[in-house]
Amino acid sequence: MRPVDMQPIGAELAIKWEDGTENFVRLEVLRRACPCAGCKGEVDIMGNLYKNPDKPYAPNAFQLTRLGLVGGYGVQPLWADGHGTGIYAFDYLKRVAEAAVN
């Protein structure tokens, strides 16, 4: 499923999906769910997870600077602290948004 519109509104990202449903996800939740290797780690062929130690987020880490489309499958946010390597596939974005409601 693909989003047809995404707009940051205050501290949330509003997402309207092609089926007409909408989600509102807090930007802090979205940032903490960053799927990049630096944030979530990487798994080798044997299934071992290699991850950097957790570090505190800067106050501007939850401010969205830009949201760019990546091909036809995802979005890549750029955060005010300069982090921008996470690519959120649309299905992952939907799961994060729906999990934030529960």
**Alpha-carbon distance 12 to 42, whole Å?**
28
**Alpha-carbon distance 33 to 99, whole Å?**
11
What pLDDT sits at residue 101? 74
Domains and CATH numbers, the chain: 3-101 (3.30.2020.30)
**Alpha-carbon distance 2 to 48, whole Å?**
32
The residues with which 69 forms a beta bridge, in sequence order, are: 75
- Which one is predicted more confidently, 1 or 63? 63
Express each pLDDT in 5-63 by its tens digit.
Answer: 999 999 999 999 999 999 999 999 999 999 999 999 999 999 999 988 888 999 899 99
21 three-class SS: coil
Task: Give residue 87's pLDDT band: very low, low, confident or very high (50, 70, 90).
Answer: very high
What pLDDT sits at residue 102? 56
